[in-house]
Amino acid sequence: MTGKAFKQSELDFFHREGYLRVTGGHSKARLNPIKESILRELARLGIWAGGKSVGRSVNELLPFQQIAKLASVVKIADLDEALNTPEIRGAIVGLTGMTPQVGQGSQLLLSLPRQGRWSSSNLNWHVDIASKPGDEIPGIQAFYLIDDVAQHAGATLALARSHRLEGEVARMLRGALKTPTDLEAVLSTSNTEVVEMSGRAGDVFLMDMRVLHTPSINASKNIRMMATTRFNLRAAG
């Protein structure tokens, strides 16, 4: 598989920060049918129609429970084929020099509007693959913006450079993230910072799967429409 040619500055940024934003990784022409299918499914399921919530069962769930519930009930045909394109796989090859292998396919990341006041505290920070900082990159997670996602509108959050931490600093950071705390002070001590995967429809964030990340609260008036694919990596050739 041929890899995308990135500038050296982009490669350095990815390996240092643990993520890279690919602006316009997908065209709106590719994503619009997915967006319309999501809206039709939400209306069919009695969750959202005409620009407002029409059901209480999902709306009353806690924000992160709501995301999981919507992912389990809203099904879009050929979602993986539409998102997991040769261009996306080529970008992963270009960043890592390794061949991406899709495991469970692509998954929608949806959240309804007005989940509550936006906060960076009490979130579900985690990694999907346990690996040491010195190991090879075990996988890449792609996050696709199906529609525009504004700041504080439910975008996935990542902790830049958290994949490079080890020892006591890593333990301190993980412990602090599990409790209500002064997040800014913790981030300063560990030399990490919160990256909000907001942007325009078509943008794609490629993230080292060792990076700590979390869902966030959608405090906006719009549905958050994203999707994700996890790619395991193996040596090319």
Supply 154's token pair: 């439910």
Q: For the purposes of burial, counting CB atoms within 10 Å of the CB of 182, is it exposed (0-12), middle (13-18) or buried (19 or more)?
A: exposed
Contact 110, 70 (CB under 8 A): yes
Predicted confidence band of residue 126 (pLDDT cuts 50, 70, 90): confident
Q: Report the pLDDT value the prediction gives residue 151, as an integer from 0 to 100.
A: 95
Specify the amino acid at residue 108.
L
Predicted confidence band of residue 176 (pLDDT cuts 50, 70, 90): confident
Predicted confidence band of residue 132 (pLDDT cuts 50, 70, 90): low
Rounded to whole angstroms, how far apart are CA atoms 98 and 90?
A: 10
Rounded to whole angstroms, how far apart are CA atoms 102 and 230?
A: 6
More confident residue, 181 or 20: 20
Residue 170 has what DSSP assignment? H
Q: What is the DSSP string of 13-54?
A: HHHHHSEEEETTSS-HHHHHHHHHHHHHHHHHTTSEETTEE-
The H helix count followed by the E strand count for the chain is 7, 10
Q: What is the pLDDT of residues 12-62, one digit of tens each?
A: 999 999 999 999 999 999 999 999 999 999 999 999 887 777 767 787 888
Q: Report the pLDDT value the prediction gives residue 157, as an integer from 0 to 100.
A: 94
Nearest to 69 by CA among 57, 79, 77: 57
Specify the amino acid at residue 20.
L
Rounded to whole angstroms, how far apart are CA atoms 23 and 109?
A: 19
Distance in angstroms between the alpha carbons of the first and the last residue of the chain: 9
Supply 75's token pair: 């099904």
The helix (run of H) or strand (run of E) holding residue 11 is helix 8-17
Fold of 8-232: Jelly Rolls (2.60.120)
Can you list the positions of beta strands (E) in 47-167? 48-49, 52-53, 98-111, 139-145, 157-160
